[in-house]
Amino acid sequence: MQKQPYFALLRHSVRTFISSARRSYLKLAGLEVKAGGSLGKISCKWPKNVKIGAECVIEDRVRFHIASPFSADNYIRLGDRVFIGECSQLNCVTSITIGNDTMIAANTTIVDVSHEVNPAMPINKQPTFGKEIIIGNDVWIGAGAIILKGVTIGDGSVIGAGSLVNKSVPPYQMWAGSPARFIRNRD
């Protein structure tokens, strides 16, 4: 019966080593990540445009997509102690900024870009346009939420699971639904 704790310890040690190696590789590629926390199996083709604060926990299969990697204005910045759940996506054409102590549950999509829908032109030829997204400090975003371009979510706000946020949310409010609407103040 002592084999189970031994194998669990061995598995933990191997995972810690792999996480450390992944972090080192991404740092060499330009990712700026401060000490502490954990970095899962993320997808990040242009790591030099992504900055991750101290003690962040980024779970497996989180995707950081940068559309214009050679632009200094195209970036994703995470504050300290940010949690991003499994299978979340951050699609960035302008900028996405996330404050300290924010929790983003699994399967959340944050996308700062849209495109026109002019019927005189094929959809794949339509021009795109982006607008920055700012998520404040101490924010909780529920599983499967979608945050669209130009949205600012104020400090201390809560976004319900499965919500579609297409307009800005004032500080310390709870919003939910599709599209998201005010539910109540966070007291």
Q: Is the pLDDT of residue 19 over 80?
A: no
Average per-residue pLDDT in the chain? Answer: 92
* Nearest-angstrom CA–CA distance, 116 and 40: 35
Going across the sheet that includes 109-111, the strands are 43-44, 63-66, 89-92, 109-111, 146-147, 164-165
Task: pLDDT band for 3, please (50, 70, 90 cuts).
Answer: low
CA 8 to chain centre: 30
Q: How does 115-132 read in b/e, with b if 16+ C-beta sit within 10 Å?
A: eeeeeeeeeeeeeeebeb
The stretch 92-106 carries a mean pLDDT of 97
Average pLDDT over every residue of 143-171: 98
> Do residues 37 and 58 touch, judged by C-beta distance below 8 A?
yes
Q: Is 44 exposed, middle or buried (0-12, 13-18, 19+ CB in 10 A)?
A: buried
Q: Active-site positions? A: 115
pLDDT of res. 116:
87
Least confident interval from 35-44, 83-92, 132-141: 35-44
Q: Higher-confidence residue: 57 or 12?
A: 57
> What residue segments make up the domains of the chain, in order of their start?
3-181
pTM above 0.85, yes or no: yes
CATH number belonging to the domain at 3-181, selected among 2.60.40.10, 3.30.750.24, 2.160.10.10, 3.30.420.130:
2.160.10.10
User: Distance between CA atoms of 146 and 177, rounded to whole angstroms?
Assistant: 11
C-alpha span between 41 and 7 (Å, rounded): 22
Distance of CA 30 to the CA centre of its chain: 18
Which pLDDT band, with edges at 50, 70 and 90, does 37 fall under? confident
pLDDT tens digits, 104-134: 999 999 999 998 888 999 988 888 889 999 9
